[in-house]
Amino acid sequence: MVIRIFITGGTFDKEYDEITGKLYFKDTHIREILELGRAHIDVNIRTLMMIDSLEMTDSDRKLIVDNCKSAEEDQIIITHGTDTMTETAKVLANGNLEKTIVLTGAMIPIKFGSSDGLFNIGSALGFVQSLPHDVYIAMNGKCFDYDKVKKNKTTGVFEKLSIKT
Amino acid sequence: MVIRIFITGGTFDKEYDEITGKLYFKDTHIREILELGRAHIDVNIRTLMMIDSLEMTDSDRKLIVDNCKSAEEDQIIITHGTDTMTETAKVLANGNLEKTIVLTGAMIPIKFGSSDGLFNIGSALGFVQSLPHDVYIAMNGKCFDYDKVKKNKTTGVFEKLSIKT
Amino acid sequence: MVIRIFITGGTFDKEYDEITGKLYFKDTHIREILELGRAHIDVNIRTLMMIDSLEMTDSDRKLIVDNCKSAEEDQIIITHGTDTMTETAKVLANGNLEKTIVLTGAMIPIKFGSSDGLFNIGSALGFVQSLPHDVYIAMNGKCFDYDKVKKNKTTGVFEKLSIKT
Amino acid sequence: MVIRIFITGGTFDKEYDEITGKLYFKDTHIREILELGRAHIDVNIRTLMMIDSLEMTDSDRKLIVDNCKSAEEDQIIITHGTDTMTETAKVLANGNLEKTIVLTGAMIPIKFGSSDGLFNIGSALGFVQSLPHDVYIAMNGKCFDYDKVKKNKTTGVFEKLSIKT
């Protein structure tokens, strides 16, 4: 069983630019993470874009859905900025794919000492291999149905909704 | 839903003693890990023992089974040394508990910069919340049935067996 | 012998805000650094300001000079943003204090896994305890006279000047 | 000015063997440290041995002295296990070399998240470039004359002696 991982950017992959003092995107750190986790799983990694999720457009989301559709694998992890993760999840759900798709990300960039990225990728791998076909958001140890979750903008924490959105 | 976490020691929790230059056990680092993962889940943590799994006796394993039995939770993670993890898993399976029990550990102590512990706990949390009642071993991104896995002593990697042990 | 450490901010002490995704100042990390270095030295730490050095004004610099003057210690380390470190050094030199003053900082925030802060504070402590009274800039293993150094804005590296500025 | 760095092993360079669960020596981490410190200094690095300093013999120490003698540089840092660092320092002092020689090490291996190695190398670089010709021990922010220091075996801390040893 091969797992597909799509990279779209987000806090997860941000780095610190020593010259400008600003955060920016260079390459994804997913391979470092899988190496650190000594992950002995078969994965296909593809970077679709490298953007802040606040800047993600409809056509970006279409690209993500199209790639999920055409992927041979039916277990897919998508790394994504947390700000609009639920939006992309809904667009994916509308695609009605017969796949298990788990979106995840990080509150702190992986390159920071205190990142939650390694933990989140670990749990996303657990969920994607175990759950039935559907679209999920896995953050901070929890897994949410795509239509029963929102990000609390004050605390930064993803919370379960009792009523579908 | 509350998840129970039992601590038994293993590489996972080893520390470096500055005075003697040896590795030893002090306290578990599971809380640091959950904090680093910004885990927003309800967990009950209990340290059962703090030992190298090569020193684990039959009565130690009985203690682990008894604690899994009497725990109110039916989702249980056990941190455990990798050397005899499969043995403890079999003893647990013989207990025929109606629970999802996931054993996990680390190849490198958590206090080392390059530990796989954060990743493994993340994935164990994913598996324990998703899989049906049974006993599993979750290491390095994979999850194995308790009776279809062995640790390769040369490479240190857990491998799937096609025939039950 | 007690060493005085003045904190003024700079990249050194920047943190990542999980909610806004921006870098900001909270508290100084100098105590963590001294603890990590297991530093067994007597230090007096005082935070004078917590700012980006591009925003440092003449009155901020006057405050720094005044504090160096009134400090009882004659070995002083100042943590400072790198962008205007040489300017502050010149103002300090004009103060003609009979003290060894070493300015240092970091190219990468301490809270990032790959920071040079621990290294730079280590070397600043080496230089401040060994060099004669004067004002110096210690960065990346080197120590420069305050009037023979500039920061290369393209590479971010401090370089020695053969002619006084 | 070029600085010579001799590697002899010690806690500094110890690593964790995932298979055996034991600490061992592979390669030195001095280059990683200089890179992390973004050190822009000219250094010549040479590994003389890779041993626990408790196992260091008279002929090992002779090798170290001989290498210090024949080195072109007159600023020399030696990484060394802390247990017998003062012994080697005395043998070096008996060599009466017209050089500044600074021995340093670490209480915690560099590969551990909480190592003091980066800090100690930083301060050793500060001291070796500033102090007059002699033999010194630089640990934890302090620099000691070779004959006025001992390691407190209970606390692991190097302490100043008021009377020469």
- Quote the ipTM score: 0.96
Distance separating alpha carbons of residues C113 and B113, to the nearest angstrom: 10
DSSP-derived secondary structure letter, A124: H
pTM of the model: 0.94
Strands, E, within chain A: which ranges?
A: 2-9, 14-16, 23-25, 42-51, 75-79, 100-104, 134-139, 142-145, 149-151, 158-160
Contact B38, A140 (CB under 8 A): yes
pLDDT of residue D15: 94
Query: Taking CB atoms and an 8 Å limit, are B38 and A116 in contact across chains?
Result: yes
Taking the Cβ of residue D108 and every Cβ of chain B, the question of whether any pair is shorter than 8 Å is answered with yes
Contact D121, D37 (CB under 8 A): yes
pLDDT > 90? residue D164: no
Query: Taking CB atoms and an 8 Å limit, are D113 and B108 in contact across chains?
Result: no
**SS in 3 state form for C98-154?**
CCEEEEECCCCCCCECCCCHHHHHHHHHHHHCCCCCEEEEEECCEEEECCCEEECCC
pLDDT > 90? residue A105: yes
Taking the Cβ of residue B117 and every Cβ of chain D, the question of whether any pair is shorter than 8 Å is answered with no
The conformational region for residue D9 under phi > 0 = left, psi -120 to 50 = alpha, else beta, is left
Written as one letter, the residue type at A47 is: T
Query: Taking CB atoms and an 8 Å limit, are B113 and D109 in contact across chains?
Result: no
Compute the C-alpha angle B40/B46/B51, nearest 5°. 120
Torsion of CA C86, C92, C96, C98, to 10 degrees: -100
Render pLDDT for D12-49 as a digit per residue (tens, 0 to 9).
Answer: 999 999 999 999 999 999 999 999 999 999 999 999 99
From B62, B56, B72, B65, select the one nearest B1 (Cα to Cα).
Answer: B72
Distance separating alpha carbons of residues B140 and B57, to the nearest angstrom: 26
pLDDT > 80? residue C109: yes
Within a 10 A sphere around the Cβ of B87, how many other Cβ atoms? 15
Helix axes A85-94, A58-70, angle to 10 degrees: 50
Residues in chain B: 165
pLDDT > 80? residue C165: no
Distance separating alpha carbons of residues B69 and B98, to the nearest angstrom: 9
| Mean pLDDT taken over chain C | 96
Distance separating alpha carbons of residues B131 and D39, to the nearest angstrom: 50
**Of residues D123, D129, D157, nearest to C122 (C-beta):** D123
Relative to beta strand C2-9, strand C75-79 is parallel
Residue C61 has which token pair?
A: 């610099």
**Residue B1 Cα, gap to closest chain D Cα (Å):** 34
Contact A55, A83 (CB under 8 A): no
Rounded to a whole number, what is the distance in angstroms from the first to the last CA of chain A?
33
pLDDT > 80? residue A165: no
Taking the Cβ of residue C114 and every Cβ of chain D, the question of whether any pair is shorter than 8 Å is answered with yes
DSSP D137-154: EEETTEEEETTSEEE-TT
Give me the helices (H) in chain D, please: 30-36, 58-70, 85-94, 117-130
Residue C87 has which token pair?
A: 């300017």
Taking the Cβ of residue B155 and every Cβ of chain D, the question of whether any pair is shorter than 8 Å is answered with yes
Taking the Cβ of residue A119 and every Cβ of chain C, the question of whether any pair is shorter than 8 Å is answered with no
Taking the Cβ of residue B120 and every Cβ of chain A, the question of whether any pair is shorter than 8 Å is answered with yes
Distance separating alpha carbons of residues D96 and D19, to the nearest angstrom: 45
Q: Which residues of B touch A124 (CB under 8 A)?
A: 122, 126
Distance separating alpha carbons of residues C41 and C121, to the nearest angstrom: 13
Distance separating alpha carbons of residues A115 and A12, to the nearest angstrom: 8
Distance separating alpha carbons of residues D44 and D40, to the nearest angstrom: 13
pLDDT of residue D148: 95
Distance separating alpha carbons of residues A120 and B38, to the nearest angstrom: 9
Distance separating alpha carbons of residues C128 and B15, to the nearest angstrom: 34
Q: How far is CA C62 from CA C11, C51, C80, C81, C91, in A?
A: 21, 15, 14, 16, 8
Buried b (16+ CB within 10 A) or exposed e, A9-47: bbbbbbbbebeebebebeebbbeebbebbbbebebeeeb
Q: Which residues of A touch B36 (CB under 8 A)?
A: 114-116, 119
Q: Which residues of A touch C114 (CB under 8 A)?
A: 111
Buried b (16+ CB within 10 A) or exposed e, D25-53: beebbbeebbebbbbebebeeebbbbbbb
The conformational region for residue D86 under phi > 0 = left, psi -120 to 50 = alpha, else beta, is alpha
pLDDT > 90? residue D132: yes
Contact A90, A65 (CB under 8 A): no
Which residue of chain B comes nearest to A107, CA vs CA? B38
pLDDT of residue D53: 96
Rounded average pLDDT over C19-36: 95
B125: helix, strand or coil: helix
Taking the Cβ of residue C137 and every Cβ of chain D, the question of whether any pair is shorter than 8 Å is answered with no
DSSP-derived secondary structure letter, C72: S
Q: Which helix (H) or strand (E) holds A119?
A: helix A117-130
What does R_g of chain B's alpha carbons equal in angstroms? 15
Render pLDDT for D40-99 as a digit per residue (tens, 0 to 9).
Answer: 999 999 999 999 999 999 999 999 999 999 999 999 999 999 999 999 999 999 999 999
What φ, ψ does residue A83 adopt, rounded to 5°?
Answer: -60, -40
Residues 6+ apart with CB under 8 A from D29: D12, D13, D110, D111, D117
Query: Taking CB atoms and an 8 Å limit, are C142 and D40 in contact across chains?
Result: yes
With cut-offs at 50, 70 and 90, classify the pLDDT of residue C162.
confident
> Could you read off the pLDDT tens digit of each residue along chain B, which spans 165 residues?
899 999 999 999 999 999 999 999 999 999 999 999 999 999 999 999 999 999 999 999 999 999 999 999 999 999 999 999 999 999 999 999 999 999 999 999 999 888 999 999 999 999 999 999 999 999 999 999 999 999 999 999 999 998 876
Q: Which residues of A touch C111 (CB under 8 A)?
A: 112-114
pLDDT > 90? residue A17: yes
Query: Taking CB atoms and an 8 Å limit, are C21 and A21 in contact across chains?
Result: no
Q: How far is CA B71 from CA A65, B65, B77, B97, D96, in A?
A: 43, 10, 12, 11, 70
Q: Which residues of D touch B156 (CB under 8 A)?
A: 18-19
pLDDT of residue C63: 98
Taking the Cβ of residue A108 and every Cβ of chain C, the question of whether any pair is shorter than 8 Å is answered with yes
**Residue A75 Cα, gap to closest chain B Cα (Å):** 14
With cut-offs at 50, 70 and 90, classify the pLDDT of residue A126.
very high
pLDDT of residue A162: 85
Residue A70 has which token pair?
A: 């055409």
From D164, D119, D163, select the one nearest D139 (Cα to Cα).
Answer: D119
Within a 10 A sphere around the Cβ of D127, how many other Cβ atoms? 25
Strands, E, within B26-147: which ranges?
A: 42-51, 75-79, 100-104, 134-139, 142-145
